[in-house]
Amino acid sequence: MLNIISYSDKYHTNLLNNAPSLQEVFTVKYSALMFPDPLPYKTPCRDCKEKSCAAAVLAPAELDLVNENSREAEFKKGDIIIHEGSLNSNIIYLKSGLVKEYVRTSGDKEQILQIVKKHSYLGLPSLFGDKVNHYSYAALEDIKVCYIDIAMFKKLIKKNGDFAYEILVSVSRDSLNNFHRFMSQSQKKTYGKVADAILYFSRIIYENNEFEIPFTRQELADLIGISRESASRVLLKLKEDGILSIDERLVKINDLDLLHQISRNG
């Protein structure tokens, strides 16, 4: 409980006047939580080999502007990069690694919306739609990101049509991929949903028929909207039938045609 301070007391009055405001305290604590210490060395944007398709069309002077208004940081596996409900104050570019985008549903359950690959911008839908982030993002492995000033980013969109076009392509592609995946899942049973998830990792995330599932069976279940037990049971059956080879999180698709058939007939 706060003590009542007498304004006739000079000492307490000075304490009150010199104390940081609630906004200042919040800003300091919030910044420490959301922004990890920057890396000791940041690759100049002109020389970066991990540019996005959008950044690749920027002129040298525009890249210098980005360089002056950005900072690079690293996150460990499991770290939360953006909290759902936080203010949208920066654009975050994923230079390396994988990130999960998710929301909290009733009962504090996690619904994973998609897996985000490197060379992507996090939170773009919230950038144009609201000042608040509507999704959370967490690192599925050790990652490297760039924080980019949001005002400068919007300025580039308004001034550079090619840059704006590439951003629009990125947002549209993600929206269509998610739409088709959600529509497909809503019409399929458990086997079809699991087959879809394996194909999603193979085609969209890793572009390879051999890969490592980047999260737990529970998170896999959260991605496709089934129970962990059901996900484990179907994976075991697909392994027993020789369609998949599974060694803990390592997966190899042995019969791609049959997996597609299970996905279609789900």
Report pLDDT digits (tens) over 79-125: 999 999 888 888 999 999 999 999 988 777 888 988 999 999 998 87
The answer, yes or no, to whether residue 219 has pLDDT greater than 80, is yes
Q: Is residue 169 part of a domain?
A: yes
Mean of per-residue pLDDT scores for the chain: 83
Q: What is the CATH number of the domain that holds 115?
A: 2.60.120.10
Q: How many domains does the chain have?
A: 2
Q: Which of 24-33, 144-153, 226-235 has the lowest mean pLDDT?
A: 24-33
If asked whether residues 165 and 243 sit together in one domain, one would say no
Residues 198 and 170 in one domain: no
Domain that includes residue 50, residue range: 37-174
Residue 126 pLDDT > 90: no
Q: State whether 160 and 211 are in the same domain.
A: no
3-class DSSP string for the chain: CCCCCCCCCHHHHHHHHHCCCHHHHHHHHHHHHHCCCCCCCCCCCCCCCCCCCCHHHCCHHHHHHHHHCEEEEEECCCCEEECCCCECCEEEEEEECCEEEEEECHHHCEEEEEEECCCEEECHHHHHHCCECCCEEEECCCEEEEEEEHHHHHHHHHHCHHHHHHHHHHHHHHHHHHHHHHHHHHCCCHHHHHHHHHHHHHHHHCCCCEEECCCCHHHHHHHHCCCHHHHHHHHHHHHHCCCEEEECCEEEECCHHHHHHHHHHC
Q: What is the pLDDT of residues 1-37, one digit of tens each?
A: 333 333 334 333 343 344 444 333 333 333 334 455 5
Query: What pLDDT is stored for residue 31 in this prediction?
Result: 39
Residues 206 and 258 in one domain: yes
In this prediction, residue 38 has a pLDDT band, given cuts at 50, 70 and 90, of low
**What pLDDT score was predicted for residue 39?**
55
